[in-house]
Structure 1
Amino acid sequence: MLNTMRKYASGWVAQIFIVLLIVSFGVWGVAGALTGIGGNYVAQVGSTEISAVSFDRAYRRELQNLSRQLGQQVTPDQARAFGLPNQVLGRLVTEAALDDQANTLSLGVSQDTLVREIAHDPAFNGPSGTFDRAYFVELLRSNGLNEDDYVLERQAVEKRKQIADSISGGATVPVALSQALHTYQTQARTIRYIVMPTTLVTDVAAPNQDELTAYYNDNKANWRAPELRTISILKMTPADVSRPEDITDADAQKYYDANAAQFTTPETRHVFQFVFTDASTAKATADQIKGGETFEAALTAAGKQISDADLGVVTKDKLIDPAVADAAFALAPNATSDVIAGSFGPVIVHVTDVSPASVKPFDSVKDEIKKTLALTAARNDMANLRDSIEDARAGGATLDEIAKNNKLTVQTISVDQSGKDASGNAVADIPVQAALLKAAFESDVGIDNAALQTDDGGTVWFNVTDISPAHDRPLDEVKDKVAAAWTKATIADRLAAKAKEAKERLAKGETLDAVAASFNLPVVTAQKLTRGTKPPADLSVDALKAAFAGPVGTAAAVPGPNDGDQIVLQVEAIDDTPYLANDASRAALTQQLADAMQNDLLQQYVTELQNELGATVNQTKLQQVIGAS
């Protein structure tokens, strides 16, 4: 329950309020003591009261936190479904119990201590990394608090902290526990094993009628036919109602002319760029290339490689420097430019692999354009079509009649709740499958069902036209499946018996090598396995657990990773890692154990404190606050 509290209270203000609270007391044992209390209070613990204002403020804050986490506004009904009111009340009751005890013990917090704790709270650090008063005030305001209210609440938190520290603050992990956990986590074992496949069992004959009937009766539920529902489905998406044939060639031509770039593949060139630090060197290099030296040779002479100048195969718009782009796309293939005044200095450009621009002719894209225009028109008209169909349904029209009038198709399927047909095969192309099956199996024959929405803006209407109840299939109908299952189970049983016999042979002193040889199987060795090791592919999780079930020499027979296989293993060696009390790598785990112990101590203390003080809840006032929030 603590995890639940933390989940719904991740904001920094909420974290301050639950900093030391270990148990949610939404079910804190006072349900039988809900005696009425008067006044404007939601609950009372001992002599400490929880006002309706305090509960309302805390509840609204948690409601806002939850809404932020879910990315949508949570309604009061949803909050109750989450159990939020009980969580908030439980936290406030716990705080009240500690506050009451703090008052009884006359605990206090000095102003200097309070100021220091607030000033050193990292939640209030500004850009400089230190306490920022302006940020502090703004943060309080954004969470519906003022300074006075926050200081009082922080003062109460510090008092509760004094109690918690005195109860559990000094708890440390016993060395014996730490050692035991260390051994459990780090102990490594070497095992030798054989994998016994189902092919070792070869003498299983077909079952006789009595065996078949007995197995069928013992496992009848395995062949039970699930409830099937016949569902008529009318789906209308933009693609379903678009009519490309209604788009004229003239309209398609108009779209083609207005979107010429969409059908044009721009020219590409493989461009190389040689950048210089000064114009004189650039000109000298350009003259050498004009004199017959290759571009690559010029690069090599300058201590560069061709890859250093490679800009890749690009379109003109991909070149950042306009001067370079203009020059590169003005050159003939395999030509080199004169010196260009580039943005980053003098440049010489070389071009290869020129692919001219190409334009798809209208006739080759006409059908594609018509589909696009028809789909756009259908999307724009979807709302009117949806309303028209809803009106027709309200007027008593059937889905078949509606489909005919709108040139749509009714899909009829017979499925179980998981989307499979009577033979157990998945039914394809069920629109909005999860939502439709859920709604269909909550409906009935003759019921008008609410329409469902598709991800692409479409709508699905459906009717349940027939229900076939779940029933036991007769043996004659599933005889082949029952026979196959009996054979598989019989092989598994006999193989398990062989594995058990092999284990018993090991227990009597026979070696694993001798046992393996009798089955003509190899012996596999797995070294340095720990409890957290992922088993090898041919070793099951059950086998890994069995390997840690006893001392050296322990033997076991367990199921293998493949269906029906068995593993027979024997522990060959055990390696224990020495325990070092000051091992830094174990510090985090030791701290987790210490925190858990401290939490347990504090939980026990708070539980006993509440039992001693007693708690009463004003349910009338509580429901008023929840309903108003």
Structure 2
Amino acid sequence: MAKHKAKSTGTFVIMALLILGLAGFGVTNFGGAAGSVATVGQAEVGINDYARAIFSRMQGLERQTGQSVTFQDVRNFGLDSAVLAQLINSAAVENEAATLGISAGDETVGDRIRSQSEFHDASGEFDRQVYEFTLERAGLNASDFEADVRKDVAEELLRNAVLAGTQAPDILVDTLFNHERETRDVTWARLTAENLDAPIPNPAEDELASYHRENPDPFTRPETKTIRYALLTPDDLAQQIDVDDEQLRALYDSRIGEFVQPERRLVERLVFTTDTQAAAARTRIDSNEISFDALVAERGLDLSDVDLGDVAEESLGEAAAEIFALEAPGVVGPLPSELGPALYRMNGILASQETTFEDAREALRQEAALDRARRQILELVPDVEDLLAGGADMAMLAERTDMKEGRIEWNEDVFDGIAAYAAFRAAGAQARTDTFPEVVELEDGGIFAMTVDEIHEPELRPLSDVREEVTAALIRTRTEEALMVQAEELADQLRAGREMAALDLELVSDRDLPRNGFVDGTAPGFIEALFDMRRDEIRVLPFDGEALLMRLDTITKPDLGSPDTVAERDAFATWIGTGLSGGILNAYTQALVEQAEVEVDQAALNAVHAQLR
């Protein structure tokens, strides 16, 4: 039996681009040793198919990360194995379709090919010459491509047959839907230090020392690096740049629209199909039968749909004169517009504004100087890189360039000075004492380089340095403990029948809380606890030196009598069904792989990998 070569036709343009892209890697012809990297029964995973899939995955990673991705990166992530597994799965389905004798007729294959826009002419119709030319450019011939399409269709037929009739059982959908869409009503109260009979006394010295020793994390300085850096920002360099008035005047003139704005109007426009309709609507407004707002709503529109914003006279065409003649807000029309006859409402007059060159001079000078500074900094980068390559330290960079040397004790909690830049923090987190300094660009167009002189391991700060923080933390802990005892006593009273409203507490009621909801001012586990409670159950939660007392009032299930809820339930059923279908297809495909004879040609894989490196 002749072997079938597994390959998805997919979108033809993408396939052609991948072939062209692989040419840049030297991956256009992997020569004569083997035609496949794996076989699954009678189906093959072709060398070129595997190479294209790897290259496609590399391109995907580059789009996601915005960085260049090498084949070694793909291997480090284990994506080469994932690509091979995916192709083997596809080949297993292809092999099974061939075994079962599933095939697609010529008419189906022709319809599939004719539907692909890559083979259409300028009128949108299939063009045989375009088809053959496109295949030729991709290095393919029509018979091979059509055979691939035929196999793709056969695989689809098999997959569709496996999934035919797949539907999530109603009991499963309803159970999950009710679980996800149930809501809760809760009444709760916060107990704070003010609810204690007496404030917590200041701890003794030995108590502070014990708490400091037993709870080191909040008082431990994180890993800290002594960093020496050289920095140049556009603000620093701009101070040295002179911009003459001629340049500033040219900049001002090129942006005159920003500095000289004509009188404008705040305008809304309601368009009608005919002049008669527009005139009738104006009559209704003039007779106070209806307001402009109500007329907009009557048309099924929102005010945002008719709002033109602030517009200049020249933007309103033939309607401009009458609108700009209004001296107070009002309605005019019918007047012409590019969409048809319309009523216009003028809501406000914005006076003309002019910023003179003299008034704009300083802002323009600063802007122009900063722009020139950024360009000069960019031109300086190669020189700085050469200095670093020659062994220059930060002091030498400051001596040989306009960069300024600095030093900082940096850790993840430091955001002052140069540490305010995200790029510096990212570089600082990665840098070690043996890291070679590199030029790094900053968000504002500046640059810096850094070296790490010393790394200080995490260290518990002395009690004398953090006495206030330790005292506050211990008092907060003891306050919370006392409030939890008090809250539990109140909870027992409520369980015994006392009304929550009778408590001397400020009660808060929240209604229709969803499972993924959030209640401001509550503990992180508040919603989770709420959905774990029975109706009328009372619970107490600790929260950052306070205590929360809560009662679950009502559990509300979704109203399946509501059309909106029914629509949500149907969409939920579709989502569940899609998940089941995917699971069934994955299980079926895996079973095909396990029962088929799968052989992987490691030598062929190595050949592809060698060319992709």
Shared topology, TM-score over 0.5? yes
Confirm or deny: 8 A CA contact 2:264 2:351 kept in the other structure: no
Confirm or deny: 8 A CA contact 2:36 2:45 kept in the other structure: yes
**Closer, same or farther in 2 for the Cα pair 1:376/1:148, shift >3 Å?**
same
**CA-atom RMSD in angstroms:** 4.8
SS at match of 1:183: helix
What does the per-residue CA deviation read over 1:242-276, in whole Å, with 9 as the maximum and x for residues that have no partner? Answer: 5648x5xxx9366567778479898877599xxxx
Confirm or deny: 8 A CA contact 1:198 1:565 kept in the other structure: no
Distance 1:100 1:220 in 2: 62
Q: Is residue 510 from structure 1 mapped to residue 492 from structure 2 by the alignment? A: no
Alignment match, 2:419: 430
Q: Which of the residues 75, 79, 98 maps onto 1:80?
A: 75
Confirm or deny: 8 A CA contact 1:41 1:49 kept in the other structure: yes
Q: Which of the residues 209, 227, 231 maps onto 2:227?
A: 231
SS at match of 2:419: coil
Alignment match, 1:527: 511
Alignment match, 1:33: none
**Closer, same or farther in 2 for the Cα pair 1:156/1:224, shift >3 Å?**
same
Distance 1:545 1:356 in 2: 56
Q: Is residue 571 from structure 1 mapped to residue 553 from structure 2 by the alignment? A: yes
SS at match of 1:531: coil
Deviation at 1:93, TM superposition (A): 0.3
**Closer, same or farther in 2 for the Cα pair 1:617/1:257, shift >3 Å?**
closer
Distance 1:521 1:66 in 2: 56
Q: Is residue 172 from structure 1 mapped to residue 182 from structure 2 by the alignment? A: no
Q: Is residue 219 from structure 1 mapped to residue 202 from structure 2 by the alignment? A: no
Count of aligned residue pairs for this structure pair: 515
Confirm or deny: 8 A CA contact 2:423 2:442 kept in the other structure: no
Q: Which of the residues 84, 100, 106 maps onto 2:95?
A: 100
Confirm or deny: 8 A CA contact 1:182 1:579 kept in the other structure: no
Deviation at 1:204, TM superposition (A): 2.0
Q: Which of the residues 179, 184, 188 maps onto 1:184?
A: 179
Q: Is residue 601 from structure 1 mapped to residue 579 from structure 2 by the alignment? A: no
Correspondences of 1:365-384 after superposition (within 5 Å): 382=377
More off after superposition, 165-174 vs 446-455: 446-455
Deviation at 1:485, TM superposition (A): 0.9
Q: Is residue 488 from structure 1 mapped to residue 476 from structure 2 by the alignment? A: yes
What does the per-residue CA deviation read over 1:268-321, in whole Å, with 9 as the maximum and x for residues that have no partner? Answer: 77599xxxxxxxxxxxxxxxxxxxxxxxxxxx9xxxxxxxxxx99979xx6899
Counterpart AA for 1:176:
I
Q: Is residue 43 from structure 1 mapped to residue 43 from structure 2 by the alignment? A: no
Alignment match, 1:205: 201
Deviation at 1:360, TM superposition (A): 4.7
Q: Which of the residues 29, 43, 47 maps onto 1:52?
A: 47
Distance 1:371 1:572 in 2: 62
Confirm or deny: 8 A CA contact 1:531 1:548 kept in the other structure: yes
Q: Which of the residues 565, 569, 586 maps onto 1:586?
A: 569
Distance 1:49 1:406 in 2: 61
Distance 1:131 1:204 in 2: 84
Distance 1:444 1:66 in 2: 27
Alignment match, 1:252: 244
Counterpart AA for 1:599:
G
Distance 1:428 1:395 in 2: 28
Distance 1:60 1:313 in 2: 51
Deviation at 1:521, TM superposition (A): 1.0
SS at match of 2:231: strand
TM-score, L = length of structure 1: 0.66
SS at match of 2:38: strand
Distance 1:522 1:384 in 2: 64
Confirm or deny: 8 A CA contact 2:193 2:199 kept in the other structure: no
SS at match of 1:567: strand
Confirm or deny: 8 A CA contact 1:40 1:52 kept in the other structure: yes
Give the unaligned 5+ runs of structure 1. 1-8, 17-37, 273-299, 301-310, 326-343, 345-351, 421-425
Deviation at 1:151, TM superposition (A): 2.5
What does the per-residue CA deviation read over 1:492-544, in whole Å, with 9 as the maximum and x for residues that have no partner? Answer: 2222233333333333x32332xx534x1144443344435x34435566343
Give the unaligned 5+ runs of structure 2. 1-7, 16-32, 266-285, 287-308, 322-337, 339-348
Alignment match, 2:529: 546
Alignment match, 1:276: none
Distance 1:14 1:84 in 2: 24
Distance 2:350 2:576 in 1: 67
**Closer, same or farther in 2 for the Cα pair 1:360/1:129, shift >3 Å?**
closer
Distance 1:530 1:460 in 2: 49
Larger Rg, first or second structure (1 or 2): 1
**Closer, same or farther in 2 for the Cα pair 1:401/1:566, shift >3 Å?**
same
Deviation at 1:476, TM superposition (A): 3.6
Deviation at 1:437, TM superposition (A): 3.8
**Closer, same or farther in 2 for the Cα pair 1:213/1:595, shift >3 Å?**
same
SS at match of 1:206: coil
Alignment match, 1:555: 538
What does the per-residue CA deviation read over 1:322-378, in whole Å, with 9 as the maximum and x for residues that have no partner? Answer: xx99xxxxxxxxxxxxxxxxxx9xxxxxxx9998989656xx888888777866776
Deviation at 1:161, TM superposition (A): 3.0
Counterpart AA for 2:93:
L
Distance 2:157 2:310 in 1: 68
Distance 1:369 1:522 in 2: 56
Distance 2:514 2:467 in 1: 46
* % identity of equivalent residues: 22
Confirm or deny: 8 A CA contact 1:415 1:427 kept in the other structure: no
Alignment match, 1:28: none
Deviation at 1:42, TM superposition (A): 0.9
Distance 2:438 2:508 in 1: 61
Distance 1:570 1:56 in 2: 59
What does the per-residue CA deviation read over 1:448-481, in whole Å, with 9 as the maximum and x for residues that have no partner? Answer: 5122233555432323334333222233432332
Confirm or deny: 8 A CA contact 1:264 1:359 kept in the other structure: no
Alignment match, 1:306: none
Distance 2:452 2:569 in 1: 61
**Closer, same or farther in 2 for the Cα pair 1:314/1:622, shift >3 Å?**
same
SS at match of 1:430: helix
SS at match of 2:466: helix
Q: Which of the residues 407, 427, 450 maps onto 1:412?
A: 407
Counterpart AA for 1:465:
D
Deviation at 1:491, TM superposition (A): 1.4
Distance 2:587 2:233 in 1: 60
